[in-house]
Amino acid sequence: MSRMVGGTFGVAVMGALVTAIGRSKIDQALPQLPAATRASIANSLGGGGTTGGHQSAHVVATVHDAFVTALGTGLTISAATTLAGAGLAWW
């Protein structure tokens, strides 16, 4: 039971972390877009930044960069947490 709850909690935290970092990168890189448009793009972060309409190449490249950066940071934090947990279990 604890493994199931831990796995579910870990996936939820990882998703929230990647979304928050990606949204932050999008807000920093695209300040010229209205807030509602940036929010819509951030919500479609995993889909390549298209929100039903045609987006510019700059927006798509920015979303790609935000997603890759957010995922890399999230995986780095996950790896560090896993190593810390393994060290604690070994100890």
Tell me if residue 33 falls in helix, strand or coil: coil
For the stretch 6-59, pLDDT in tens is: 889 888 998 889 889 999 999 998 888 888 888 888 887 766 555 556 578 888
For the stretch 54-89, pLDDT in tens is: 578 888 888 889 999 999 999 999 999 999 999 999
Q: At what angle do helices 35-43 and 2-29 cross, to 10 degrees?
A: 140
CA–CA gap between residue 65 and residue 49 (Å, rounded): 11
The pLDDT value recorded for residue 48 is 56
Reported as a pLDDT band with limits 50, 70 and 90, residue 91 is very high
The pLDDT value recorded for residue 83 is 96
